[in-house]
Amino acid sequence: MQLLDGKKTSNDIKNEIAAEVTKMKQNNEKVPHLAAVIVGNDGASLTYVGSKVKACERVGFESTLIKMPSTTSEMELLKKIEELNQNDDIDGFIVQLPLPEQIDTQKVLMAIDPSKDVDGFHPENFGKMALDMTTFIPATPFGILELLERYDVQTAGKHTVVIGRSHIVGRPMSILMGRKGFPGNSTVTLTHSHTKNINQITTQADIIITALGVPNYLKAEMIKDDAVIIDVGITRVADDTTDKGYRITGDVDFENVSKKASFITPVPGGVGPMTIAMLLKNTLLAREQRKYKK
């Protein structure tokens, strides 16, 4: 069994991006600038956005954090998005989800300029991804592809089972694993809450990508020997033995599944760190595209 180490791989990617930024500075070029908008005080979101800002500092990007109160109206947020769309100094920006209930998330994502949509959530970018065109791939699926590529996990002709059909992970992964090229060229089954006999399907899978958010859902008896396991789930589970009072758990019963798998991502330290690294990579791509537009 080999661990797909997202922590190490994400550090490698950040070092590569930092080297690119150093070259840009030497050539007196503008360095990438990422902005993040957060509405309200959700603890997990604040932590996540904070780590994005730190990651920007580490690779030499400029970053702007825009905090808006939880009482912000949809109109106020849309006005802020339009400002960011028009601001030539900002190469890419994200609006941290979830948003307060008075705001229509779909309307907000649609308002973002697709050329600055480094989260890859805009329908224009999603459509380009589905058609194998160059675009921003959502950061978590992009990170999974990068892990598979860097560890040379063979995907061609393999049966990939995706568990979960969210717009952020499950559905894009099902499209990307079936595309031409590497990683890709696999036969994909997309499973979800209405799938019957899921155990029968997972035991036939060469590669399983699970993004359910149900702790320890995938058991050893649900996989075949030497399967590749990608665990996207991150759930806080109460645990009095830890200082924080909880521990982070994935969708996979790691202790038992890891004994049968050929490759597996740990939680934490697997897919999570890759997500931020690929957001930085998308911002670098956005900067390059903007440079050539002018």
Active-site residue (options: 80, 96, 117, 251): 96
- Determine whether the annotation assigns residue 208 to a binding site: no
Reply yes or no on whether 96 is catalytic: yes
Active-site residue (options: 52, 80, 116, 281): 52
3-state secondary structure 166-184: CCCCHHHHHHHHCCCCCCC
Question: Which residues are within 8 A (CB) of 166 and not within 5 positions of it... i.e. 6 or more apart?
Answer: 211
Check if the beta carbon of residue 147 is closer than 8 Å to that of residue 265. Answer: yes
Check if the beta carbon of residue 40 is closer than 8 Å to that of residue 29. Answer: no
Residue the block writes with tokens 């990617």: 13
> Quick one: tokens of 279?
């957001």
- Determine whether the annotation assigns residue 92 to a binding site: no
- Determine whether the annotation assigns residue 234 to a binding site: yes
Residue the block writes with tokens 């941290």: 96
Reply yes or no on whether 2 is catalytic: no
- Angle at CA of residue 171, ends 9 and 211, nearest 5°: 55
Check if the beta carbon of residue 274 is closer than 8 Å to that of residue 144. Answer: yes
> Quick one: tokens of 200?
């029968």
> Quick one: tokens of 59?
């690779």
Question: Which residues are within 8 A (CB) of 157 and not within 5 positions of it... i.e. 6 or more apart?
Answer: 185, 186, 187
262-286 per-residue burial string, b: 16 or more CB within 10 A, e: under 16? ebbbbbebbbbbbbbbbbbbbbbbb
The DSSP H or E segment spanning 59 is helix 43-59
Rounded Cα gap, residues 59 and 52, in angstroms: 11
- Determine whether the annotation assigns residue 166 to a binding site: yes
DSSP-assigned letter for residue 116: G
Active-site residue (options: 119, 206, 231, 253): 119
Reply yes or no on whether 52 is catalytic: yes
Q: Catalytic positions, please?
A: 52, 96, 119
**Known binding residues for NADP(+):** 164-166, 234
**Known binding residues:** 164-166, 234
